[in-house]
Amino acid sequence: MNLDPRLVKRSASAAGIKPNITSTDVAPKGQSNENGPSALEKLLVLEGDVRAVSSFNALGYFMCNETTKLVPAAQVLFFVAGARKGSWRLKAASSVTTIDRNAPMVRNAEKLVSDLNEPNKLQVVSDAKLKVLDLSFGHGLLLPLIAPSGPVLGRLLLLRNTEFSESEKVLSQRLSGAYGHALAYFDKSLRTARFSRNLKFCISACVVLGGLALMIPVPMSVLAPAEIVARDPYIVTAPMDGVIQSIDIEPNAPVRAGSIVMRFNDTELLGRLGVAERNLEVAEARYRRVLQGASSSAEMRRDIAVAKSELGVAEAERDEAKAAFERSVVYAPSDGVALFTSKDDWVGRPVATGEGVMEIGDPARVEMRIDVSIGDSIVLQEGASVRVFLHNDPLKPFNAQYERASFRAQETDQNTLSYRVTALPQISPEDQSDLRIGLRGTARISNGKVSLGYYLFRSPLSAARQWLGL
């Protein structure tokens, strides 16, 4: 908002205002009025704009971010009175939407302002005090925000690396008076006479009604993430140590019994089989030669047993190599749906014998897998009712029958300890097709009724007992 200098002077004269400062007194060095609005004009604009602020929080934001238009500062901090007498609490800061109470700068700034006496006077903060508190600024100016009736409603701290001039101090003091007047308006609106007369009655009524409300019986329930999984799926494991060469099916694709599921790299196995077959041929030839010469040579007759044993060893090695080569191709044991993440996660990856690669489950036989956090395990009892809300259709929940829960908590994919709960969906056969394996949602497990107060404060009380060691 830019004002015409002639209009500003004419309006001030017509209203009979005689300011105690002039534009030449407050204009920064090296800047004339012809190059832009003077400091006095900026002051009048800010005093006019502050009247349009509609809330206390908006006023704090305005003071921290708009003051720099009149008095340049790297950081502007707004403080209000703290709970302890003589302490000041940071309420707002320039270019910041949320105050982190644990930030070192916040704590240091609050200590600095609380240690400065005479809150109703403008004070210049020395470089030494800023360095002691590790504030990375060289100069500070602390403005009191005083209401017309006298009390100090807040303090405004301006920080920068250059010294504040006398004209800037004069401008800041004049602007702090406007800010104090604005703060007084919101202070009065929050403390009306009617609210003061009825405060005790309102507090008493709220306490009584709140106590009665805490006795209302409500179902003891807990919400937990749930997923539809196959019931008793067949786990396809690696039959040997090796590297998976290919997977012949897609994730979530139907599989027929006897169809090829995956293949292992058989280069080494094929070589072992060839060597074993050649060794078998050598052993057979030696055995035949020994048998043929046994009739005429006593030495040959003694080698019959050795040659026969070597032939048996060669046959066993050939059979073992052949069986290993046949195991390099894995077949589906039954009909179902292939359940695994992606081909790229397994192709070319070395696996150990017995390592699970995928599951083959029957899409018509499903169950709910629910992960209940250890803090909510109180509802995991026989007879608990389960209601499931799937993410793909939250307006169509269904019931499930609680079946069992794991004895020990185990780590989930979210790195949290939870009890694994299994529940069977209770739906009609017509809706069974809607429960596709892999769908996720939220399950509500309920068991008995408790008071509303116990339901709300059970977790905080449990945490307090653990912290206090009771």
Could you tell me the pTM of the whole model?
Answer: 0.47
Q: Is the pLDDT of residue 297 over 80?
A: no
Q: Is the pLDDT of residue 13 over 50?
A: no
Rounded mean pLDDT, 28-35: 46
How large is the greatest C-alpha to C-alpha distance in the chain, in angstroms?
Answer: 147
| CA pair distance 128, 119, nearest whole angstrom | 20
pLDDT tier at 81 (50, 70, 90 boundaries)?
confident
Rounded Cα distance between 50 and 59, Å, is 7
Strand order in the sheet with 336-339: 234-237, 356-361, 336-339, 254-255
Mean pLDDT of 401-419: 83
The model's confidence at residue 20, banded by pLDDT at 50, 70 and 90, is very low
Mean pLDDT of the chain: 81
Q: Which of these ranges, 29-43, 60-74, 456-470, has the smallest mean pLDDT?
A: 29-43
Q: How many Å apart are CA 124 and CA 236, to the nearest integer?
A: 77
pLDDT for 132 beyond 80: no
With cut-offs at 50, 70 and 90, classify the pLDDT of residue 404. Answer: confident
Give the distance, in angstroms, between the CA of residue 231 and the centroid of all CA atoms in the same chain: 32
Residue 78 scores a pLDDT above 90: yes
CA distance 316 to 310: 10
- Which pLDDT score is estimated for 194? 44
Assess contact for 93 and 64: CB atoms under 8 A: yes
Better-scored residue on pLDDT, 58 or 189: 58
Q: Is the pLDDT of residue 62 over 70?
A: yes
Q: Pick the closest to residue 223 from 369, 381, 452, 387 (CA basis).
A: 387
In this model, does residue 246 exceed pLDDT 50? Answer: yes
Cβ contacts of residue 314 below 8 Å, gap of 6+? 276, 279, 280, 282, 283, 284
For residues 316-325, give the mean pLDDT: 87
The proportion of the chain whose per-residue pLDDT surpasses 90, expressed as a percent, equals: 11
List residues bridging with 237 in a β-sheet. Answer: 356
Predicted local distance difference test score (pLDDT) of residue 274:
87
Does residue 90 register a pLDDT over 70?
yes
Q: How far is CA 61 from CA 53, 70, 79, 94, 109, in A?
A: 10, 15, 12, 7, 18
Give the dihedral of Cα atoms 253, 256, 259, 260; nearest 10 deg. 30
Look at residue 17 in the predicted model and tell me its pLDDT: 30
Instruction: Flag whether pLDDT at 389 surpasses 90.
Output: yes
**Nearest-angstrom CA–CA distance, 453 and 284:** 87
- Cβ pair 435, 201 in contact under 8 A: no
| Model confidence at 362: pLDDT above 80 | yes
Residues facing residue 390 across a β-bridge: 441
Residue 34 DSSP class: G
How would you class 427 by CB atoms within 10 Å of its CB: exposed for 0-12, middle for 13-18, buried for 19 or more? middle
What is the model's pLDDT at position 192? Answer: 55
**17/133 Cα distance (integer angstroms):** 43
Q: How distant, in Å, are the alpha carbons of 314, 427, 450 from that of 453? A: 79, 34, 8
160 or 449, greater pLDDT: 160
| 221 vs 380: CA distance, rounded Å | 10
For range 213-225, the mean pLDDT: 86
Say if residue 3's pLDDT is above 70.
Answer: no
CA distance 36 to 46: 16
Give the mean model confidence (pLDDT) for residues 331-349: 86
Rg (CA), the chain: 42
CA distances from 132 to 8, 125, 425 (A): 44, 12, 66
What sign does the dihedral 164-166-167-168 (CA atoms) show?
Answer: positive
Where residue 334 falls among pLDDT bands split at 50, 70, 90? confident
Q: Using 50, 70 and 90 to split pLDDT, how confident is the model at 5?
A: very low
CA distance 314 to 308: 10
Half-sphere exposure of 207 (CA within 13 A, CB side): 6
Per-residue DSSP letter, 233 = P
pLDDT, average across residues 335-361: 87
